Chain A
Amino acid sequence: MCLFHKKDQIFILWVAFILSIHSGHLLAGTPVFEIEIKNHLFYPAEIEIPAGVKIKLRVKNLDPTPEEFESYELNREKVISGHSKATIFIGPLVPGQYPFFGEFYPKTAQGIVVVKE
């Protein structure tokens, strides 16, 4: 039984830690970039973001079918159901090209994040 308590404590501490970081970041203004998914295509298919800055990516799925925003380079993965929006935080990143795609329709849903100085 003792172990349970210990784990609970660890978990609570972890959550507290996470929450403290979360609130800290909320204070700083994060630039927002918007992407739309329409007919299994990303609009725009290429977004340019500044290096070393964290940004908030708002992905709006205008299709009735769900889509999964995925990028191996960005290490991001998120399901966006039909006719809904999703928020994904990206960065801060070093300059370079970071392709992303829609995992459910990867042949057409292709895009790239270009990070520039």
Chain B
Amino acid sequence: MLLNSVILILQETLEAALMISVLLAVNVRLQIKPIWIFCGVTLGIMGACIYAYHIEAVSEWLDGVGQEFINALLQIAIALCITLYIYWLFRFKGQTKQYDLDGRLVYSNQVQFVLLMICIIALGLTREGAEVLLYLGGFFPSSEQRFSMAAGSGIGFGIGLSSSIILYYALVNIPGPWRFRSAVILLALFAANMASQAALQLTQADWLPHTQALWDSSSLISERSVLGHLFYAIFGYEATPSAIQVGSYVAAIVLVGIAAKIGNRFSAGSKI
């Protein structure tokens, strides 16, 4: 039971926690107050509660594949938000610094960053959080396994939180231009991960055709191992990915790359 709780909680929290730590690290650069992250987290938890509460009704939608549809929708929305976020990041990369009356550094274009960040976190937590809530809710009445479940959840949550703290400080302490680059690369991987998961959901709902697995690396890194979960959370590792998943993964990275290019060009052109 314990191991099971660990894996389930880890699977769901790691992704969100790593995403939040990357956004926090970018926020340091953009001078955005961390309070907005909590805004996103609160909204996400609320969303998760609503989703978990209505999961039964949602499942009935669209001939029994409503869940897949909603999940895919959330994931696509997250991928698009990240793409837009990266676009704005590049758009204002070369922006000259502005100061307010008190001499503090301000970016006049913080609004879209804050909004997109809240969207990414809230949408991500809605999907991941609903599963955790259902899991914990299902166990709450059985007192027999409460301790092992609580311990397992605690350990899973602890591993997720610790990894994200280490990632945050690693990102903040990277010297020079690589700090920005690594954050962007991680965000792009998240977007791609979301796109590939969305493709999987749509395959499961039979909205996308089934394609054979391109490779099988389960003997190398099992999806059940801690490393497998970590890789899954960071870049969407799958031991047996289907062609359509790999395709959407690559497509999302290309899309992010294009967004970055466009942002960069606008940024170079509009420097005043």
What residues of chain A have their CB less than 8 Å away from a CB belonging to chain B? 3, 7, 11, 14, 18-19, 21-22, 25, 30, 54, 56, 58, 65-68, 72-73, 75-82, 84-89, 91-92, 94, 103-107
Contacts and interface: CB of A to CB of B under 8 A. Distances in A.
Q: Main SS of chain A's interface residues? A: mixed
Interface string B126-144: 0000110011011100000
A11 B198 CA distance: 13
Given A14-B76, A89-B206, 12 more contacts: A3-B259, A7-B84, A11-B80, A21-B209, A54-B206, A66-B137, A73-B240, A75-B240, A75-B242, A75-B245, A81-B59, A103-B4
B1 A107 contact: yes
A22 B207 contact: yes
B202 A104 contact: no
Lowest 8 CB-CB distances: which A-B pairs, in order?
A87-B64, A65-B138, A89-B206, A81-B56, A66-B134, A18-B207, A72-B223, A22-B207
B15 interface: no
A94 B179 CA distance: 45
B208 A21 contact: yes
Contacts, number: 100
23 contacts: A3-B87, A7-B84, A21-B207, A21-B208, A66-B55, A68-B131, A75-B200, A75-B203, A75-B213, A75-B245, A79-B59, A79-B131, A80-B59, A82-B138, A84-B56, A84-B59, A86-B59, A89-B203, A89-B205, A89-B206, A103-B135, A104-B138, A107-B4
A39 B208 CA distance: 33
A55 to B, nearest CB: 10
B39 to A, nearest CB: 23
B8 interface: yes
Given A66-B137, A84-B59, A86-B59, A79 B210 contact: no
B210 A66 contact: no
Nearest to B248: A14
Contacts of A54: 206, 210
B22 interface: no
**Most chain A beta carbons < 10 A, residue from B65, B138, B223, B238:** B138
Interface string B12-56: 000000000000000000000000000000000000000000011
A88 B105 CA distance: 52
Interface in B190-209: 200, 202-209
B238 A75 contact: yes
Nearest to B206: A89
B224 A85 contact: no
B63 interface: yes
Nearest to A17: B208
Given A21-B207, A88-B204, A106 B59 contact: no
Contacts of B80: 7, 11
A37 B168 CA distance: 42
| Residue among A67, A87, A105 having the largest count of chain B Cβ atoms under 10 Å | A87
A79 B4 CA distance: 16
A56 B238 CA distance: 23
Nearest to A105: B4
Interface string B215-243: 00010000110000000000000111110
Contacts of A73: 240
